[in-house]
A and B are shown apart, each in its own frame.
Chain A
Amino acid sequence: MSQLKEIIYNCKKATSLIERKEIGRLTLRESVELKIHLAFCSVCRIFRRQSITINSMVKMLFNDAQQRQTKLDDTFKKSLQERIEDKLNKNGKKL
C-alpha cells in the first residue's frame, strides 16, 4: 500500500489520533495525517464529533453530580461526629 493510501484507510490509527488530539498533543506529522484522513473518511468524522460530545458530557455529568450533592444519612453522620469528638478528647490535641 502506498503511504497515502495507508493513511486514508487506517481508521484505527486515525481514531487513536483523534483521542490523543483531544487530551494531549500531536506531532506535526500526525496532525497532517489526521487532517488528510478526516478529509476522506466520513465515518471517522462522525466518530470525532461523538467522541467530543462524550468528553464534554462526562465532564458535565460529574459537575452536575457534585452540585446536586448526595446526602450522607444522618445516623452515619452522627456516629462520625462522635468518632471525631472521641478522637479529639483522647488525643487531647490543642486546636
Chain B
Amino acid sequence: MAVDPLQWVAKYADYLFTYAITRLNDDEQARDLVQETFLAALERIDRFEGKSSERTWLTAILKNKIIDVYRKKSSGLTGATEHLNGEEEPDFFDNVTGHWKAAHYPQVFGIEDPDRLDKKDFTRILQLCMQKLPALWLSVFTMKHMDDAPTENICTELKVTPSNFWVIIHRTKLNLRACLQKNWI
C-alpha cells in the first residue's frame, strides 16, 4: 500500500484528533499529539511496510504518544496512594468484616438495565465522574475499557504491578459507581 503524506491531513486529521480527545479530554493536548504523530510518521516513512493501512499505522503512533502522556501524568504516583480529585475517597467497607457500610450500600437507581437507559444523561454524568478519578486510575481504566489492552501491557506501559493494577480497577469502579449513584437524578 502506498503512502501519501500530502493527503494525511485531509484524510486522517479528524479521525486522529477524535481518537486523542476521547482518551485525553484535552483539546490542546490532542491537537499537539496529532501534529506530533504526523511529523513522527514523516520521519520514519521508509519504515512503513504497507502491512497495515495508513490509518492503522498512524493510529499506532498516536497511541504510543497517548501512553507517554498517561505515563507522564502518573509518574511518581503509586496507584494505591493516589487520591480522588477534590474529594476524599470514602471507606466503603467495614475494616474488620469487609461488609459494606450502610451509608455506602449500592442502591438500585435506574442504570441496572442498559437497554432502558437515557444514554445522553448517563454519558454526561459518567464523564463528570471519570474526571474525578486520579490520573493513573483513569489511564488504567481507559486503556482497559476503551482499547481492551491486555492487562500485562497496561502494567508494563504504566509501570504498575499486577496486584496494584487490580487494586486500581477495583477502587476505580467503587468510586465511579458511587459517584453515579450520587449524581443520578
Contact = CB atoms under 8 A, between A and B. Distances in A.
Do A and B interact? yes
Given A50-B112, A72-B17, A84-B38, A95 B123 contact: no
A58 to B, nearest CB: 5
Given A50-B106, A56-B114, A65 B173 contact: no
Contacts of A55: 145
Interface in B160-175: 166, 169-170, 173-174
B117 A53 contact: yes
B22 interface: yes
A65 B119 CA distance: 13
A78 B107 CA distance: 51
B49 interface: no
A65 B17 CA distance: 11
Contact of B22 (A46, A62, A72): A62
A83 B92 contact: no
Q: Which of A9, A10, A11 has the most CB of B within 10 A?
A: A11
A78 to B, nearest CB: 8
Contacts of A50: 106, 111-112, 177, 180
Contact of A87 (B39, B113, B126, B127): B39
Contact of B114 (A20, A53, A71, A91): A53
A93 B6 CA distance: 13
B117 A77 contact: no
Contacts of B108: 46
B13 interface: yes
B144 to A, nearest CB: 6
Interface stretch (B50-58, B62-70, B75-83, B94-102): B94-102
Interface of A: 1, 9-13, 15-16, 19-20, 23-24, 43-44, 46-47, 49-51, 53-62, 64-66, 68-72, 76-77, 80-81, 83-85, 87-88, 91, 93, 95
5 contacts: A43-B105, A50-B180, A59-B145, A59-B146, A72-B14
